[in-house]
Every structure is written in structure tokens, then in C-alpha cells.
Amino acid sequence: MSHSPHSQPPVRPVPAGAVRIACTINGQAREFVAAPMRRLIDVLRDDLGLVGTKEGCGEGECGACSILLDGQPVNSCLIPAIQVQGANLTTIEGLASRDTFNKTVLHPVQQAFLEHGGAQCGICTPGMIVTAAWMVQTGQPAADVPKVLAGNLCRCTGYAHIVTSVQAAVEAGQAAGLTERPAGEA
């Protein structure tokens, strides 16, 4: 029996030794039950229905599953569920916002990827965008884009459009005052 995209995911049996985990995901307090060592990517996608985060390699090498954990980019395929107890998570779904008319407003990085052709097949795109959003938020220089994105692999492209997209977003974020100053900078 299949379920529609608007219905709840199927109820899974609670594994022995499962624990209740409370955290904030995309600005919303959430609680779920999972085996402590279950991979966070599986909880996000299978249990919570947040399928924007993609799995590429499952080994922490490609960055496709990148999310922000307490404001820092991490590979969710390497994070055990118990590690997010009390944490603040941001996935690709949490980057866009709503305006006063309840219309979706893309994050500057998402908008830059659209404008500069930064997306190809879509597997690496969420991880690239989440990592780039961290760059914008933390005020990383546009010149550092290739270095910062080194942990995010794309098998479709030569990276030119991705780097251009992220550099444009970083520069736009700085111009709009969306960045925090890096520690030690006056």
C-alpha cells in the first residue's frame, strides 16, 4: 500500500533501545523516537519526511547530505541521531522563508543557484546550498568559495557555475548585511 505525498510517512515499529530525541529543526521544536546510533540522514528523510537532504556516498566524503548542526555544516550521514539531542538543525527545507503574503522567498544562495545555473542533476545541490548559506551567514570571503566547497562533490559539472553562484550569493549577502563578522574581525 503506498501513501500520497501529503500523507504521513508509514508508522515504523519502535526499535528496542530507541530513545526520545528533542531538537529544533528548521526553526520548529521537534521530537522523534529513534535508535541512538541511527544515522541522522535516515531520520530526516524516512521518519520526518525532510527529503531535500540527499544521500550521495553514505560515507561522509561527498557532502550531498550536508546540513547545519548548531550553525556548522556537517555530513548528516555520519551523525548518530542521539547527537542532535537539544541541537538546532537547518536542512535545505529550512533556508527559504515566507513573505507577508505567505509566498516563498528563496534564500539568497538558492536564488543565486537559479540565476547562475548552479544546479545540475540535483543530488549535490542541497548540500552545496546549505554549505554556501553557512558561508553567507558567517561572512566567509567570496575568494574562499572553492576551498570551503572542497568537501562537496559534484559529478555532473566542472564547478564553474556552482562557484559563480556561491560567490554571487556571498557578495549579495555581504552587500545586504546578512553576514555575521568572523571572530577577530573589527
Under 8 Å CB-to-CB from 157, ≥6 apart: which residues? Answer: 120
Distance, in Å, from the CA atom of 176 to the CA atom of 43, rounded to the nearest integer, reads: 35
Domain presence at residue 137: yes
Q: Are residues 24 and 88 in the same domain?
A: yes
Query: What would the pLDDT profile of 3-28 be if each residue is shown by its tens digit?
Result: 555 556 666 667 789 999 999 999 99
Residue type, 185: E
Query: What would the pLDDT profile of 82-105 be if each residue is shown by its tens digit?
Result: 999 999 999 999 999 999 999 999
- Considering only the C-alpha atoms of the chain, give the largest distance between any 2 of them, rounded to a whole number of Å: 59
Query: What would the pLDDT profile of 32-81 be if each residue is shown by its tens digit?
Result: 999 999 999 999 999 999 999 999 999 999 999 999 999 999 999 999 99
Per-residue HEC secondary structure of 41-89 comes to HHHHHHHCCCCCCCCCCCCCCCCCCEEEECCEEEECCCCEHHHHCCCEE
Residue type, 66: S
Q: Are residues 39 and 55 in the same domain?
A: yes
Query: What would the pLDDT profile of 107-135 be if each residue is shown by its tens digit?
Result: 999 999 999 999 989 999 999 999 999 99
Domain presence at residue 122: yes
Domain presence at residue 1: no
CATH number at residue 76: 3.10.20.30
Predicted structure pTM score: 0.86
Q: Are residues 29 and 80 in the same domain?
A: yes
Domain presence at residue 71: yes
Q: Are residues 106 and 160 in the same domain?
A: yes
C-alpha distances out from residue 136 to 107, 140, 174, 175, Å = 10, 6, 7, 11
Domain that holds residue 84: 19-94
